[in-house]
Each structure stands twice: as C-alpha cells, then as structure tokens.
C-alpha cells in the first residue's frame, strides 16, 4: 500500500525591502510575516517531512517571475522532493524552475490561460514534474457543471487565478479531468474557503476531485491538526496532506502527526 505523504508548505512573498519572506493568512488574505524561507526549509527537511512545497504567492498576480534565487537557496537545504509554484507561464519557466533545484513545478494561472502548457511540460520534462494547482472556491449558484451537497445546499467549485484574486467561471471538476487527460502528474487542491481556518480540509471538494481522477491528489488548506489529516485520508482518499501554520508555529510536529496516523492504521513513512 502506498504511504500517505505529509507535506509542509511555505507561502513566500517579497517584504518591504524586497527580500523573500514567508507569510501566513486566512482565506488567502490578511497575511502576516512568519519567517525566513531558507531557515524554514532546513527545519522541515530535518523534521521528517515527506516533501516540501514553496509557493511564490504574488508572482502570478504581479506578472513577475518566480524568485528563483531563493528557490536555489531552499533547494540547497532540502533533500526531499521540492515542489515550486508561482508565476510559471511557459515551458521555459518550467525549465528554469527545475534548473533552480525544484523536482516538481506547480502551475495554476499559467495552465488555465494556456492548457497546452500541461502537455508541453509533461512531454519535455515528464509527467512527474508537472503539478496542476487548483485554487477552488465554493459557489452556490447555477453556474457550475458538477454539484455536491454541503450542509443541505447545492454547491459547485470554481477555479480561481492570480492567488485567488480572480474567478474564472470554470468548474473545478471539469478542469481536473482536462488536466489529467493533458498529462498532469499530480493535482494540488487548495480551498479558498478553508484556507487558514484550521477547521479541517474541504472534504466535499477533495472527495469530488479524488472521485473524478486517478491522478494523485494533494489536499491543502484548513488543516488544524492530525485528526484533520486522518479525515482527509480516510473520507476523501487524498494521497497527501499539506499543512502550513500548524507546523510553522509548533502546534504539532511532523513526527507527532505521523505517529497519530500510524496508530490509526493510516500508512505513513515513519
């Protein structure tokens, strides 16, 4: 049986002095300084994380390139698979991100604007390198294609771009099907509604995606503790659980989280 992966994530932006810094927020807003990306990467590498995710959270919105100098410094500190996202728009961007030390490249806005980028990237660098990130939000109207019941209401999930700042009217389920067909090696599913709340992953969203595709799914946003990881693995069949603030602020360690899951017969790498 494949083990479930525990993945810490850092959201990186430029501070007032133009230096890379990690920020943590709620619902993709109200960001607060959390730490230095290189130091945090080093800490998680030593803590037993299965993988590590570095997201440049304003590159797409600001139309700038990913901060590859910082990625290089992070890559020097981690000896586990490193996924880097933010501002990736072209095959050359993918190439440069991998050259900077990333093992995988996470793409959201760039793939929605140009879906052929998924095929181009997979063909050039291998499916395993191409992670399609989905920033999803709930909508309770008639604009979607696939609906789920949420607390007695019918809802669908919309893809957003530019760090959740813009809607697309695209149904998440339609998009993940297309991304899989085009060669995505992994799907990184973020919930804007759950982000930073620590009230648990968006189970309806994650399950809707895992029920639709066979591509591995990373569940993200809302983790408040090991019990939420257990829920997303057992109820939504996610392949990996991503978390940020519970690890950043020392509320739980990666080791504690893995032991909790192991005791409940969830396969993890101890």
DSSP, residue by residue, 93-153: HHHHHHHTT-SEEEESHHHHH-THHHHHHHHHH-GGGEEEEEEEEEE-SS--SS-EEETTE
Burial (Cβ within 10 Å: 0-12, 13-18, ≥19) of residue 263: exposed
Burial 178-202 (b: 16+ CB within 10 A, else e): ebbebbbbbbbbbbbbbbbeeebbb
The catalytic position among 50, 135, 195, 202 is 135
d(CA 180, CA 172): 12
Instruction: Spot the catalytic one: 11, 56, 93, 202.
Output: 11
135 labelled catalytic: yes
Q: Is 11 a catalytic residue?
A: yes
Active site residues: 11, 135
């Amino acid at each position: 049986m494949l083990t479930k992966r525990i993945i810490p994530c850092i959201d990186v932006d430029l501070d007032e002095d133009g230096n890379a810094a990690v920020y943590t927020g709620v619902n993709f807003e109200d960001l607060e300084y959390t730490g230095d990306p290189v130091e945090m990467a080093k800490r998680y590498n030593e803590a037993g994380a299965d993988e590590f995710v570095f997201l440049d959270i304003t590159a797409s919105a600001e139309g700038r390139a990913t901060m590859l100098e910082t990625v290089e410094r992070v890559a020097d500190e981690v000896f586990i698979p490193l996924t880097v996202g933010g501002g990736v728009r072209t095959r050359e961007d993918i190439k440069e991100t991998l050259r900077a030390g990333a093992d995988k490249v996470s793409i959201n806005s760039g793939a929605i604007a140009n879906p052929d980028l998924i095929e181009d990237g997979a063909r050039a660098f291998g499916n395993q390198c191409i992670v399609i990130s989905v920033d999803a939000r709930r909508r309770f109207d008639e604009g979607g294609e696939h609906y789920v019941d949420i607390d007695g209401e019918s809802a669908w999930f919309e893809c957003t771009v530019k760090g959740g700042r813009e809607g697309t009217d695209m149904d998440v389920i339609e998009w993940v099907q297309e991304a899989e067909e085009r060669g995505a090696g992994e799907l990184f599913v973020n919930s804007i509604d759950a982000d930073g709340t620590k009230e648990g992953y968006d189970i309806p969203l994650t399950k809707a995606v895992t029920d639709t595709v066979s591509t591995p799914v990373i569940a993200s946003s809302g983790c408040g503790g090991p019990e939420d990881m257990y829920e997303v693995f057992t109820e939504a069949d996610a392949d990996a659980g991503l978390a940020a603030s519970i690890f950043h602020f020392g509320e739980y360690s990666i080791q504690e989280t893995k032991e909790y899951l192991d005791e409940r017969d969830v396969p993890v790498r101890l």
